[in-house]
Structure 1
């Protein structure tokens, strides 16, 4: 018996040594240095556990089959998208942008092939009840189709009216499609699809998971579709931070409510968001792309307002980290002030350097985050960055009470970002996201006004107060920061 124990211990030590050496050779080839160091640290501390975790969560890419499917789809959509630009956007004049705006818009265009478009109207929506009421009203008036794409999609006392509107629309002949993330909407997929499907609503899951088995379309278990988009008849679009769930997320954070910010849009930019929905739907469902039908479904969009907007999708299927690159460029070009609202703040080293550079150049940087995050570990990782931020002179506002879930960035009263991306590595590199860039002053001022309201409900963190935190907190934050590239 003792010999067997000795043999097993010897085998464990041998395999642990082989794992350490093998991963030391492999991991640095696949990741940037900070991420590689974090993974190697985890593997060195616990070789077998680290190896298993890396096998499940280490890859940042997608399987070749999914990438081929996306490339084929984009090729099929190529001519159709050209026709869209000619048919729908030809009457929209090229917007006049200022120099800083031109740099951002050109970089975004080179990455996603979507230009800024004028002639839009934006309505800012913060309250979930109002958001659902407006969405249900638009669905009730739909004549051709309703496309919904959400990370979390839940049936509850607040959202049931949306389900009723969808059932009613499908029964009167409106084509209704719902694409939801397989993890974020797992309860909905298990329990609440029957009535919708029996009414004629088409439902699909994004990035499906199976127990102990990854599908050929899923590279790792925690790559998710975090987008939130609603399209009605190609005329109206919604996007932002709202998920379809009541504000306390089923009391996930002890009854605290999520405070979100989304927009309702009309005008040519709706077609850009529609293209994002098309791509996600057809990549996930493997359906043939009905190009003639797509073009038939496109309305003749007139000028609805004066908003200049550009859509920026991002995700692991794209060559670059689109949103992160744009944030870095915006920070480096800022001249006066940058304001960031995000529920999760876990920047990569490049973004931190951009913030530091902005501060060196005299730019005021304001960060608004929840006082207490809904996720303990993620909150600890975020707070690990407070010390260097305060040393740079960044003003940190902690939103009191509820969970601030809005995702916005404003730069010099000249640019505004709003969408689904958090200011963290996960949104930069892992999840499928979609964000909007606003170039028109009225819309920028609206988003700035929302940020000012958040600051009014927040407490400014003073460096002296932060230095008084307990020693144990310092140790915990320091340790969690080592693993921040993994979150």
Structure 2
């Protein structure tokens, strides 16, 4: 057992997990006890529960894969219906519903973006359609010009830039991350944050409690608050069974003074800057925005801060006049997340629209590959249309079972003409898409069910940004050092295929 797992087991999180498992066991025990005390009533109740569960699943709007999986589970007497009731869907509290209602009343789209959208519609209807669809799904998103974008192909390069920008902060610093771990990267940033907080700079930090339960102590927010850093956990772990734990905050957002913002796949831990080695060379990337589009990044942070804290935030207080950049192109920072916070699977739909309308090439990097039938068919169809579709996944995985499922998807894609590469130097964690020298996506959204369905995510859709040239050049470098996978090179045993099929079956509900 490594140190991370041992610390987790001995922490309050380990205690909470034990309590939650006990709560689950008690629920089942009480139900079966009812069967011993009143068998006839129990049989009737089990029958009614099973029928009601099947009807609920059949009539519920959900992905076919999820529907099939839950139907299979529901046929297990007692256990299936109870699992569906407890874990199938997050139910918002009255407070959360009120927060969501307040957010929906807020108008964030600016009048000047109408001109940008109309101009785009006249120049490129296909591109306009992709952006219009995104704006229809995420009402907090908007279109921005006047923004400079800088692409970083390695975490260590972005880290150096972050330190310099933090030192220049004068008004506020917002941080939202899935993983934070003490070490060179975080400790270096923390020293600057402490200094800035002492100078009167407002520092707010939000991190995912489950994402950090093996890396930070349970009382870590108190330590940071003592330094003047307002810190809170997203979906704080308590010893109680709740489906809310399935909706984690996987976002990576850093905003400084409303002028500069960073996002990408890079968390605040030393493996992301290759200061320590985990799974070979850690390949990651991100983007720095400077200009008008930073307003949307600020808003994304404040929305999750509001959802988590329940505080009415004066959004305009932090929407400062951006020092407009001189860069070309359009930028649409956007969020994605679980229902009912987001009514559509924003991340998935953006990927689908880009892939479906591609005419020349589609390049994708993702550490995991567990996607549904619809998205798979869109990718295959693009390749069959003659589009050069290339996918890069890790050669050295961080989760071997996930790599088994990822590799299990290769044969179907290869048969359609998709080219697949594995990053030979180690683990590629970036989530990037570039299409036809027109569009690119840099953000946190993996090609898997967790990112596309369950997690709070964010990304930036870029249209004809100069930064895309650097991103495309990075893909060329990745292809050069990666091993291309061919149908005759795939070797899997019956056991591997069986495990892949079983896990793939239950992936939609995990």
Q: Do both share a fold (TM > 0.5)?
A: yes
Superposed, 1:335-414 pairs within 5 Å as: 335-414=359-438
Q: CA deviation at 1:303?
A: 2.9
Judged with a 3 Å threshold, the aligned counterparts in structure 2 of structure 1 residues 251 and 118 are, in CA distance, closer, same or farther, namely closer
Judged with a 3 Å threshold, the aligned counterparts in structure 2 of structure 1 residues 278 and 49 are, in CA distance, closer, same or farther, namely same
Q: CA deviation at 1:172?
A: 0.5
1:313 is paired with a residue of what secondary structure?
strand
Residue in 2 aligned with 1:264? Answer: 288
Q: Distance in 2 between matches of 1:92 and 1:146?
A: 29
Which deviates further from its counterpart, 110-119 or 137-146? 110-119
Judged with a 3 Å threshold, the aligned counterparts in structure 2 of structure 1 residues 399 and 49 are, in CA distance, closer, same or farther, namely farther
Q: CA deviation at 1:378?
A: 2.4
Please state if 1:470 is matched with 2:485. no
Consecutive unaligned residues in structure 2, runs of 5 or more: 1-31
Please state if 1:106 is matched with 2:132. yes
Q: CA deviation at 1:90?
A: 10
Which deviates further from its counterpart, 129-138 or 196-205? 129-138
Residue in 1 aligned with 2:324? Answer: 302
Out of 13, 30, 38, the residue aligned to residue 69 of structure 2 is 38
Please state if 1:135 is matched with 2:157. no
Judged with a 3 Å threshold, the aligned counterparts in structure 2 of structure 1 residues 378 and 61 are, in CA distance, closer, same or farther, namely farther
Which deviates further from its counterpart, 156-165 or 142-151? 156-165
Judged with a 3 Å threshold, the aligned counterparts in structure 2 of structure 1 residues 64 and 368 are, in CA distance, closer, same or farther, namely farther
Deviations 1:108-163 (A, max 9, x none): 12222433322211112233333222212212111100011111122223320111
Residue in 2 aligned with 1:192? Answer: 220
1:152 is paired with a residue of what secondary structure?
coil
Q: CA deviation at 1:199?
A: 2.0
Residue in 1 aligned with 2:265? Answer: 241
Which deviates further from its counterpart, 185-194 or 424-433? 185-194
1:168 is paired with a residue of what secondary structure?
helix
Please state if 1:206 is matched with 2:234. yes
Q: CA deviation at 1:304?
A: 3.5
1:159 is paired with a residue of what secondary structure?
helix
Deviations 1:318-338 (A, max 9, x none): 111112112112222111211
Q: Distance in 1 between matches of 2:87 and 2:270?
A: 30
2:367 is paired with a residue of what secondary structure?
coil
Q: Distance in 2 between matches of 1:323 and 1:255?
A: 27
Residue in 1 aligned with 2:444? Answer: 420
Deviations 1:156-210 (A, max 9, x none): 2332011111111100100000011121123435153344211211001112231
* Aligned alpha-carbon RMSD (Å): 3.2
2:270 is paired with a residue of what secondary structure?
coil
Out of 329, 334, 346, the residue aligned to residue 322 of structure 1 is 346
Please state if 1:480 is matched with 2:508. no
Q: Distance in 1 between matches of 2:272 and 2:333?
A: 29
Q: Distance in 2 between matches of 1:28 and 1:327?
A: 27
Q: Distance in 2 between matches of 1:248 and 1:95?
A: 40
1:447 is paired with a residue of what secondary structure?
helix
Q: Distance in 1 between matches of 2:82 and 2:448?
A: 24
Judged with a 3 Å threshold, the aligned counterparts in structure 2 of structure 1 residues 158 and 47 are, in CA distance, closer, same or farther, namely farther
Q: Distance in 2 between matches of 1:123 and 1:421?
A: 19
Deviations 1:14-71 (A, max 9, x none): 5876665443233233333221211232444x55554554445321565554233122
Which deviates further from its counterpart, 157-166 or 192-201? 192-201
Judged with a 3 Å threshold, the aligned counterparts in structure 2 of structure 1 residues 94 and 197 are, in CA distance, closer, same or farther, namely farther
Deviations 1:80-126 (A, max 9, x none): x46xx46x989989875534322211211222243332221111223
Q: Is the 8 A contact 2:264 2:443 kept in 1?
A: yes
Q: CA deviation at 1:433?
A: 0.8
Q: Is the 8 A contact 1:94 1:117 kept in 2?
A: no
2:479 is paired with a residue of what secondary structure?
helix
Residue in 2 aligned with 1:73? Answer: 103
Q: CA deviation at 1:451?
A: 1.8
Residue in 2 aligned with 1:122? Answer: 149
Residue in 1 aligned with 2:204? Answer: 177
1:221 is paired with a residue of what secondary structure?
helix
Residue in 1 aligned with 2:312? Answer: 288
Q: CA deviation at 1:389?
A: 0.9
Q: Is the 8 A contact 1:92 1:119 kept in 2?
A: no
Q: Is the 8 A contact 1:395 1:460 kept in 2?
A: yes
Q: Distance in 1 between matches of 2:375 and 2:181?
A: 34
1:210 is paired with a residue of what secondary structure?
coil
